[in-house]
Structure 1
Amino acid sequence: MSGRPEQLSVNGVSLVADISGALLWPERRLAAVADLHFEKGSAFAERGQFLPPYDTAVTLDKLEALLARHDVKRLICLGDSFHDQGAAARLPDQITVRLQGLIARYDWIWIAGNHDPAPPQNLGGSIAAEWTEGALTFRHEAEPQAMAGEVSGHFHPKAAVRVRNKRITAPCFVTDGRKLILPAFGAFTGGLNVLDPAIAGLLGRSFQVMLLGRKQVFAFPRKALCK
C-alpha cells in the first residue's frame, strides 16, 4: 500500500501519518503501529464465531510492506498486538518464523495492552508498559490527565465526513496537537467514532483527524465531522 501521507505535529515533534495507519517519526527513524490483534480470527473461531482465518497473515503482509517502504530502525507496537494471551501459541508455524525474522531486524518494542498485558517473549523484541522518546511518550491507552506528548492506540478511532452529500467513514488518526491516537493497524478490527465521548473527552475541543483514504491521507477539523 502506498499513497500520500499527511504531516502533523504533536508536542512540537514533526510526524507523518502514513496511509497504512502507521505513525512515522523520520528524524528518529521510528515507526509506531497500534492494535495489530494477531490471531483475532482464531480467537473468535474458538467461540464459534467465524471470521476469515487469514487476519494475522494480512496484517503481517501490511507490516512488512510498511517497513520495506520506509527507513525505520525502531518499531513500537502500541499494545493489543495479540488478541489474547493465547494468541502467540495459535500462530501458524510459518507466521511465527516470518515474525521472528522481521523482529530480529529492528529495535522492536512491544507495549503491553489490555488484550495482551504480558506480550510473548519467545518472538523477540523488548517489552515495556510504555516508552518515552524525546518529547513523546508511547502507551497503549490514553490517560485523561497525561501530559502533552502522549501517543496511544486502543480505541481504533474512525471518523465520518460528508462529501458531495455522501457519508464516508474510515479509520483515522486523531490529535489536538498535544495527544495523538492512532487507528488500528490490524485486519478486522472495527472502530469507534472520534465524536464518541470516550475519545473526544480525551482531547481538546479543536482536534483534527487524518482520515485514511484509498490513495492518500486527508485532514479534517472536528467541525467537518459527523456521527
Structure 2
Amino acid sequence: MSHHVLVLAGQTLHACADGSLFWPDQGLLCVSDLHLGKSERIARRGGGLFPPYETQETLARLDRAISENDPSCVICLGDSFDDLDAASGLAEDARLHLSRLQAGRDWIWIEGNHDPGPIDLGGTHLSELAIGGLAFRHIATPAVPEISGHYHPKARVSGMVSARPCFLADKTRLILPAFGAYTGGLRVTDPVLATMMQADAIAVLTGQRALPVPMAALGTGRR
C-alpha cells in the first residue's frame, strides 16, 4: 500500500492510498466516515433501494488496512454509522466481523453528527481524543493541531475520469477522506474547505497510490 508522509505538530503520519491514516510511532490507524448501514437507512426512511453491500465492502476495506499496518489502536473518527438505528440494526455477520477486527487492540469510536450516542459494539466511545499533541475529532474547529473528518473531501486532476476522495493537510490541520464504500463527497474547491485550509495546503488523492497535489493547483480560492 503506498502512502504519502505528512508531518503535523512534529508527528510523522502516513496518508495511505486507501484513505486510512497510519501513525507508526503510536501504532495507530485512523479512518473516518465509514457510514455503515447507509443503504439500509435510506430504504428505512422511504428513499430508493440501493445495493445492500456497502457495509460488507467497507468492513473488507478496513480489514485490509488493519492487516497491512497491524495497529495496536484503531480510531473511527465519527459518522461510523449512518445513524444510531443503523448501528443497533447491524447484521450479525457484520457484528462478528467488527469483533474480529477489534480483538487484541484498542478501538475508539469518536462521536459524529450521524452517530452522536454510545453504541453497543465494543470499544470506547468518546466525543474527541488527544494523543501526542494532536486532537482527534469529527468536525474541524479553530483548536489546532487537529485531525478530523466530516467533509468527505474529493478532488480531480487533469486526466482523471472522476474525482477521488482525498486528505487535506496544512501545517496545523488534517482532514481525512470518507472511508466508507458508499459515500458522496465535497469538492476541495468548495468555499467551506477552500477557506478552512492554509495557503500551502495539499490534497493527497487516494486510489492506486497516494497522490499529493497542492490545493492551489486545484483552482481553490483560499484565504
The TM-score, its normalising length taken from structure 2, stands at: 0.94
2:55 is matched with 56
Matched letter for residue 104 of structure 1: A
Structure 1 residue 168 displacement after superposition:
4.8
- C-alpha distance 52-226 of structure 1, shift in aligned 2 (>3 A): farther
Contact (CA 8 Å) 1:157, 1:192: kept in 2 or not?
yes
1:216 is matched with 209
Distance 1:99 1:49 in 2: 27
Distance 1:190 1:48 in 2: 16
Matched letter for residue 92 of structure 1: A
Q: Is 2:155 the counterpart of 1:156?
A: no
Give the share of equivalent positions with the same residue, in percent.
43
Structure 1 residue 206 displacement after superposition:
1.8
Contact (CA 8 Å) 2:199, 2:216: kept in 1 or not?
no
**Could you list the runs of 5+ residues in structure 2 that have no partner in the other structure?**
none
Matched letter for residue 182 of structure 2: F
Distance 1:200 1:157 in 2: 11
Q: Which residue of 137, 143, 149 corresponds with 1:139?
A: 137
Provide, for residues 53-82 of structure 1, a one-character-per-residue CA deviation record: whole Å limited to 9, x for no partner: 011110001111110111300101000001
Structure 1 residue 48 displacement after superposition:
3.1
Q: Which residue of 181, 184, 188 corresponds with 2:178?
A: 184
Structure 1 residue 167 displacement after superposition:
5.9
Matches within 5 A, 1:31-180: 31-46=29-44, 47-120=46-119, 122-143=120-141, 145-147=142-144, 149-163=145-159, 168-180=162-174
Provide, for residues 127-167 of structure 1, a one-character-per-residue CA deviation record: whole Å limited to 9, x for no partner: 11101000211000001x222x200000000112124xx66
- Partner of 2:95, secondary structure, is helix
- Partner of 2:59, secondary structure, is helix
The TM-score, its normalising length taken from structure 1, stands at: 0.92
What is the total number of aligned residue pairs between the two structures? 219
Matched letter for residue 225 of structure 1: L
Structure 1 residue 198 displacement after superposition:
1.3
Provide, for residues 78-123 of structure 1, a one-character-per-residue CA deviation record: whole Å limited to 9, x for no partner: 0000100101222111111221232232100000000000131x21
Task: Give the ranges of 4+ consecutive aligned residues of structure 1 lying more than 4 Å apart after TM superposition.
Answer: none
**Could you list the runs of 5+ residues in structure 1 that have no partner in the other structure?**
none
Distance 2:90 2:136 in 1: 26
Contact (CA 8 Å) 1:11, 1:135: kept in 2 or not?
yes
Matches within 5 A, 1:13-28: 13-28=11-26
Contact (CA 8 Å) 1:42, 1:90: kept in 2 or not?
no
